A and B are shown apart, each in its own frame.
Chain A
Amino acid sequence: MKITDDSPPVLTALDRPNSYIGRSVPRPNLQRLTQGRGQYVSDVTLPRMAHVAFVRSPHAHARIKSIAADMAKKSPGVIAVVTGVELAKVMTPWVGVLTHLKGLKSAPQHPIAVDVACWQGEAVCAVVARTRAEAEDGCELVEIKYEELPAVTDPETALDAKTPVIHAALGDNLCFERKLDVGAVDKAFAESDAVVETTFMFGRHTGVTTEPRAVVADWNPSEQRMTVYQGTQAPHMMQNLFAKHLNLAEHQVRVLTKDVGGSFGIKVHTYADEMATVALSKLLKRPVKFVADRIESFVTDIHARDHRIKAKIGVSKDGTITAFEIDDLTGIGPYSVYPRTSGIEANQIVNLTGGPYTCPNYRAQAKVVFQNKNVMCQYRAVGHPIAVAVTEGLVELAAAKIGMDPLEFRRRNLIADDAYPTQSAAGLKFEKLSHHEALAHLDSMMNYAGLRAEQKALRAKGIHRGIGFASFIEVTNPSAAFYGVGGARITSQDGATVKLDAQGALIIHSGVTEQGQGAEAVLAQCVASSFGVSINKVRVVTGDTDNTPYGGGTWASRAAGIGGEAAWQAGKALRGNVLAVAGAMLQAKPDDLDIRNGIVVDKASGTERLGLDELARVAYFRPDTLPPGFQAELMATRHYVPRAWPFAFTNGIQASYLEVDTDTGFVKLLKHWCVEDCGTIINPQLVDEQIRGGVVQGIGAALFEHCRYDERGQMLNGNMADYLVPMAVEMPDIDCGHVVSPTADSELGAKGAGEAGTAGAPACVMNAINDALRPLGAQPLTDMPFTPDKILRALGKV
């Protein structure tokens, strides 16, 4: 007799009967947002609400000699004109430092400049009026006398003895410096068969969120409470900061964040004008609204990526990378941004460069200097696009130098898939990555051999196409190692509370926030699956410090991996509680029961026993019928924080296929691929769209976006016509592929996916351009963005 195994396949904890994990369910907020029923801060109107507009410094560096407000105060509708000195009595200044970035220093920053304005665009005076238009009219009437001071703009000379020091008390213009030297770098270079050395430049750019920064602050003197409606990624962090600098206790501050029109890291920082708005509400005892317009967004939303990196790679003839060396210099504006600091990007570059490869010899130094330009801080994929472009740029230059195919070169150097756990030369700890599997997947997905053949055939016809790659690693799901250990009150844990309503539906409160990326969908999927209801029975509430569990919010690709796990666990806990009630009602063992599709069933047979609506009815309205001493607990909270690993690293590889018009220097993007490994994929569509959106922002960096300044610190292209955001017509189709290596740190196993696209795209576009132009004898292009101007110059056409 043949024995057949008819037991069900071994299931992981995620394979629940009606699991939504791994399914592209539409986001619950889709209807609301597409029907124009979102609740953005820009939409908030409160009784007695006033609007503030700011007079901003036209100079990059200037002493404020006098502010004459009489005319402005008489302007129709104006309620108050407030200077930095006056507001300093309401709100204390802040200093953007973290103790674990040793030596990092910065100067106290006020909500409105006091005495000296340090960048073009810094708020110098506030005008509060009945409408924004009247506030702007008032701004035109404020007379400010400035004494222009020399502007420090070039990072290269910021530390020279003859360069003025921006903040005298700091002694010099150095914000932060880091050095790292691992292995035997000099020896390795000396023994290399080839060494490639070049300088990479990265243009300053910014996030350009669809909805600009917006805040409505409402001080209620009767309750001594401040309610702040704010488009932010981190409501609890902001609650702490508003309280701290208004000298209030945290419980006196409530931050409400409903819909947010995109953030990309722009909305996770302390902005002087938003702090000023909150302080103004306290001062004036009425609601005050500030919505940044595009002009002020360009000169006040954080910028990022302004780095100059001298870089060097050594290789042996067989294609082994022997050493990496980088020297990073970045100018971050006049203040380190509070509270995450402006040292993180450079620090990340030092950490991440060379990260995918086995090479043990690595030396890095980074200098972060002050300058009189808008502040720089963390924007989507912080440091990654730079570290990846430097690493992958060097890798392809080295491969070309020794005449090796760039994919083959990577195969010889990427950390082996069976080498985990391991760590990089810089000391990053990797739980499980899949570089080789991802590369193999990409190779076949793009039909690499076929593309090379096509490239060759077209080359003969004078059509110059290029193929470029970028392997990458991405920091996600940060533990307390990121900020907490540095003394910042930025929590890395997150919580979720799930409750059963009186008809058997669920409401989840989560500490992560929805920025338009789909966090609400992920939370609903996790809870629906672990608890056992259909997703349309789950309502998600986020963004309310009075009502959601204490949490970090959305940044560093943490919402799904951390917030999702908390939601998963909370749903599971509530299932246990509900089954306890069911057990009491049915006189069954809770362990023998399960919840499937909103119905309590026999776990073994699947036989339906009890609807959740009936269970809720009894628990809430007839608890007298339950056994004596039994108390139904129909609300459960769980928190989660990664503990085993400082970060859940993800990995992947991208490729770009493009054509360079060698007559015009124009680049036509033909196709883009990304294979990434974010562990468990909760919602494939959301992951793919995160990747695609991220790739587009990376392409922006490579080809279009650039905050251009003149030598006096004036931004030249701060508007939507002259600052080129990537637009749909120029974007290629972006194909996504996946390898799945779940993290064992959580039951869900999800890592982050929000920044991988941005991390790798600039590098592979750069490599593809250089691949296209190499046979034409062009100097490799390493100065982003790659404009027609630069390409024509590289080709010697102009």
Chain B
Amino acid sequence: MKPAPFAYKRARALEEAVAALGEHADARLLAGGQSLIATLNMRLSAPRLLIDINGIGGLDGIALKAGKLEIGALTRHAQAERSEVIARHAPLIARAIPHIGHAAIRNRGTLGGSIAFADPAAELPACLLALDGEVDATGPKGKRTIKAADFFKGLFETALGPQDVLTAIRVPAATKDTRVGFAELARRHGDYAIVGLAASARADGKSFADVRLAFFGVGATALRAKKAETALASGNVDAAVAALDLDPQDDLQATAAVKKHLAGVLLRRVAKQLMEARP
């Protein structure tokens, strides 16, 4: 389990990383390495060049800007887990992060890497979707912002181009009406979920507005369950479960039927969390 030979370059500035990606067709960015190195060691991929972005300054900030919380791509899971700012302004992310792997993985793994890698069973892409967040990327033509809804394209596939570096994610800061819910089922703590659900909504009297249910582990990307969202907005949990139109595939963890069943169970549990006061 040794990687195929590769060259290594440590980028000092964003522009340097973007340029290096352009110079080598077969280059890959290295952030926390918690997903990338495993695929290299198992020889599932063999890029010629790794461009280490850990030396680029200014990519690990956590800041509130104009009602939105911006989290730099190099922010480690562990750093986010301990951040009071995130706990206050993005409680959904704070709830999700302890479910990511184990402490050692969270010490190195980055939020940007997790979003860019876009594992269909990962927590953060679903959170980003549920929070209607956005992604900043810098490429040869400069910086652009991509809505979460447009970002996750397919299995491990995103809107990032071959020369793009993800620099930050941004989510609307929670208000007093924000309600969030999170639950996942994993065989062992720290495993990728069999099924998970990240949800947010705005309390509107007794009912909800802007309900967003983002399931993960049930498709090629994290998925919104829009019919269920509509049903849940009117407070009808049974109808929301009945309206779940997920179409998961069998995988090593569970059959499609079990995943569908568990998605319904999670929806009930998360709906209950949403109904409770803001955490």
Instruction: Report A's interface with B, CB cutoff 8 A.
Output: 131-133, 136-137, 140, 293-295, 663-666, 704, 708, 716-717, 719, 721-722, 724, 726-727, 729-730, 787-789, 792, 797-798
Contact = CB atoms under 8 A, between A and B. Distances in A.
B196 to A, nearest CB: 12
A137 B252 CA distance: 30
Interface in B152-188: 185, 187-188
Nearest to A719: B42
A730 B189 contact: yes
Given A294-B1, A295-B1, A788-B254, 19 more contacts: A133-B2, A133-B3, A136-B1, A137-B5, A140-B43, A295-B42, A664-B185, A664-B262, A666-B185, A719-B42, A721-B191, A721-B192, A726-B188, A729-B188, A787-B187, A788-B194, A789-B258, A798-B257, A798-B258
Contacts of A663: 265
B45 interface: no
Interface string B191-231: 11010000000000000000000000000000000000000
B272 interface: no
Contacts of B3: 133
B4 interface: yes
Closest 8 CB pairs of A and B: A133-B2, A293-B1, A729-B189, A798-B257, A663-B265, A798-B261, A727-B188, A789-B258
A798 B192 CA distance: 22
Contacts, number: 62
A792 B1 contact: no
B279 interface: no
B255 A789 contact: yes
Given A137-B5, A294-B1, A789-B254, A797 B189 contact: no
B101 to A, nearest CB: 10
10 contacts: A136-B43, A140-B4, A664-B185, A664-B262, A666-B185, A716-B252, A719-B42, A726-B188, A792-B258, A792-B261
Nearest to A661: B265
Interface in B20-60: 42-43
Interface string B251-276: 01011011001100100000000000
Contacts of A792: 258, 261
Nearest to A135: B2
Contacts of A293: 1
A695 B1 CA distance: 31
Contact of B2 (A136, A664, A724, A788): A136
Contact of A664 (B4, B192, B255, B265): B265
B233 to A, nearest CB: 24
A132 B194 CA distance: 35
A178 to B, nearest CB: 35
A729 B192 CA distance: 15
Contacts of B194: 788
B254 A730 contact: no
B61 interface: no
B187 A722 contact: no
Q: Which of B1, B3, B185 has the most CB of A within 10 A?
A: B1
B258 A722 contact: no
Nearest to B5: A137
A727 B258 contact: no
Nearest to A791: B258
A631 B42 CA distance: 63
B190 interface: yes
Contacts of B4: 136-137, 140
A133 B252 CA distance: 30
A330 B72 CA distance: 55
A137 B257 CA distance: 42
A140 B42 CA distance: 12
Nearest to B187: A724
Contact of A704 (B187, B252, B254, B262): B187
B42 A708 contact: no
Nearest to B188: A727
A716 B252 CA distance: 8
A51 to B, nearest CB: 10
A666 B253 CA distance: 13
B197 to A, nearest CB: 13
A787 B253 CA distance: 9
Nearest to A716: B252
Nearest to A139: B43
Nearest to B195: A664
A726 B189 CA distance: 10
A717 B252 contact: yes
Contacts of A789: 254-255, 258
A797 B261 contact: yes
A456 B1 CA distance: 52
A132 B2 contact: yes
A510 B184 CA distance: 51
Contacts of B265: 663-664
Contacts of B254: 787-789
Contacts of A730: 188-189
B142 to A, nearest CB: 38
Interface in B81-138: none
A706 to B, nearest CB: 10
